[in-house]
């Protein structure tokens, strides 16, 4: 989620003078400053947004549009709101986008509906018009902690931003929703049973089934393109101290998401297994078009907590390959429906600012 961006940017700010850029992480010697050496899977990278924090850009089912969340105080957007735009069909066309959330509260994790006429996203707007308060981290020893607001619910809206249906109304956190390839099922994260677990909703009947039960944060789940599997990120506090801290924070509507690993399971949640054991934060996983590989974000190579880069592995966690090389932050990858392109968020080409932008590239096998 977007809060991981703030983690990376905070650490970068504090340790900026200590950054040592490896030779392979320097921009390639060409006019294309968006493309780093050894990013062999990317071609024709294009920056779509400029300025502010732009993240979690996801494709429509027809591959023609993107929806993403954006914060930019310079534009009066104090916390994340949802924007939708058509993908440019030529180099001469700009990426134009429009607000499709209410402009109230805070939003996160939007996704297109199969019909191409609606979107879903989580929002706190029923809890108040203003952005919900940030966490006072000094109270927690300046640990990286972020809130799971209990005013988040999931809504369906049309492409003009009109909310047409509220999909969740339980007290507590309901967010991080994505849909199955056939558009009939929604997988999401909720605290409705006391922990941060995954649930699947049948959108026709609105029946909800809980599919995870281990203590820890289960979230950010996706269905595979063939509809047979799911992938997600999870924390698993083990020691007495870890369990105590996790439960106490959750009671306050907070979580410390700095230790995550990637898990996969069958689409109904059965046969769950952990496929990474890298340490640090491994998250934002998604499937490749063949449903046999996972692309995810991680800072496991760096004791200082950054950079965050994208990595590729098979569905069993074998054959780890580093995909991106930005020295700040690369995450939230999603392949186009035809598998020919990839969209992701990155700190690259931000002129030394803290901006995170959306990028699109051709995918090279």
Taking the domains of the chain in order of start, what are their residue ranges?
Answer: 2-363
Task: Give the pLDDT of residue 1.
Answer: 53
Alpha-carbon span 182 to 191, nearest angstrom: 26
The per-residue pLDDT for range 227-251, each reduced to its tens digit, is 999 999 999 999 999 999 999 999 9
The class (CATH top level) of 2-363 is mainly beta
Task: Give the pLDDT of residue 303.
Answer: 86
Q: Mean of the pLDDT values across residues 250-261?
A: 94
- The answer to whether residue 54 scores a pLDDT higher than 50 is yes
CA distances (Å), origin 130, targets 70, 228, 255? 16, 40, 22
Task: Give the pLDDT of residue 4.
Answer: 45
> What SS3 state is found at 146?
strand
Alpha-carbon span 220 to 241, nearest angstrom: 25
Task: Give the pLDDT of residue 49.
Answer: 98
Instruction: Kindly report the average pLDDT of the chain as a whole number.
Output: 91
pLDDT bin (cut points 50, 70, 90) of residue 58 is very high
- The answer to whether residue 259 scores a pLDDT higher than 70 is yes
- The answer to whether residue 310 scores a pLDDT higher than 60 is yes
Q: What are the b/e assignments for 203-237, b being 16+ CB within 10 Å?
A: beeeebeebbeebbbbbbbbbbbeeebbbbbbbbb
pTM: 0.90
Say which range, 15-29, 60-74, 253-267, has the weakest mean pLDDT. Answer: 15-29
The per-residue pLDDT for range 138-197, each reduced to its tens digit, is 888 888 898 999 999 999 999 999 999 999 999 899 999 999 999 999 999 999 999 999
DSSP at 142: T
Residue with more model confidence, 258 or 64: 64
Task: Give the pLDDT of residue 146.
Answer: 87
Task: Give the pLDDT of residue 33.
Answer: 65
Q: Mean of the pLDDT values across residues 313-341?
A: 97
- The answer to whether residue 11 scores a pLDDT higher than 50 is no
Task: Give the pLDDT of residue 265.
Answer: 98
């Amino acid at each position: 989620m977007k809060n991981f961006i703030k983690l990376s940017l905070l650490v970068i700010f504090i340790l900026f003078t200590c950054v040592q850029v490896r030779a392979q992480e320097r921009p390639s010697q060409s006019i294309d400053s968006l493309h780093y050496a050894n990013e062999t899977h990317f071609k024709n990278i294009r920056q779509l947004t400029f300025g502010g924090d732009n993240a979690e850009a996801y494709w429509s089912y027809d591959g023609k549009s993107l929806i993403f969340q954006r914060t930019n105080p310079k534009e009066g957007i104090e916390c994340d709101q949802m924007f939708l735009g058509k993908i440019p069909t030529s180099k001469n066309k700009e990426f134009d986008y429009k607000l499709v959330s209410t402009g109230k509260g805070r939003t996160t994790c939007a996704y297109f509906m199969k019909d191409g006429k609606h979107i879903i996203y989580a929002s706190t707007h029923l809890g108040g018009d203003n952005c919900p308060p940030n966490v006072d981290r000094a109270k927690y020893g300046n640990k990286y902690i972020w809130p799971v607001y209990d005013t988040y619910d999931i809504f369906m809206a049309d492409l003009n931003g009109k909310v047409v249906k509220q999909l969740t109304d339980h007290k507590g956190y309901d967010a991080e929703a994505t849909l199955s390839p056939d558009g009939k099922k929604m997988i999401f994260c909720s605290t409705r049973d006391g922990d941060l677990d995954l649930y699947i909703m049948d959108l026709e009947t609105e029946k909800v089934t809980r599919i995870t039960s281990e203590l820890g944060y289960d979230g950010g789940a996706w269905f595979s393109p063939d509809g047979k599997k799911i992938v997600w990120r999870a924390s698993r506090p083990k020691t007495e101290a870890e369990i105590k801290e996790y439960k106490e924070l959750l009671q306050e509507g907070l979580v410390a998401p700095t230790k995550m690993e990637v898990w996969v399971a069958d689409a109904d949640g059965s046969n769950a297994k952990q496929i990474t054991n890298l340490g640090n934060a491994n998250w934002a996983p998604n499937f490749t078009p063949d449903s046999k590989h996972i692309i995810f974000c991680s800072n496991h190579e760096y004791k200082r907590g950054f950079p965050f880069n994208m990595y590729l592995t098979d569905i069993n966690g074998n054959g780890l390959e580093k995909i991106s090389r930005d020295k700040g932050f690369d995450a939230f990858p999603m392949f186009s429906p035809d598998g020919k392109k990839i969209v992701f968020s990155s700190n690259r080409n931000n002129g030394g600012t803290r901006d995170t932008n959306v990028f699109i590239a051709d995918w090279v096998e």
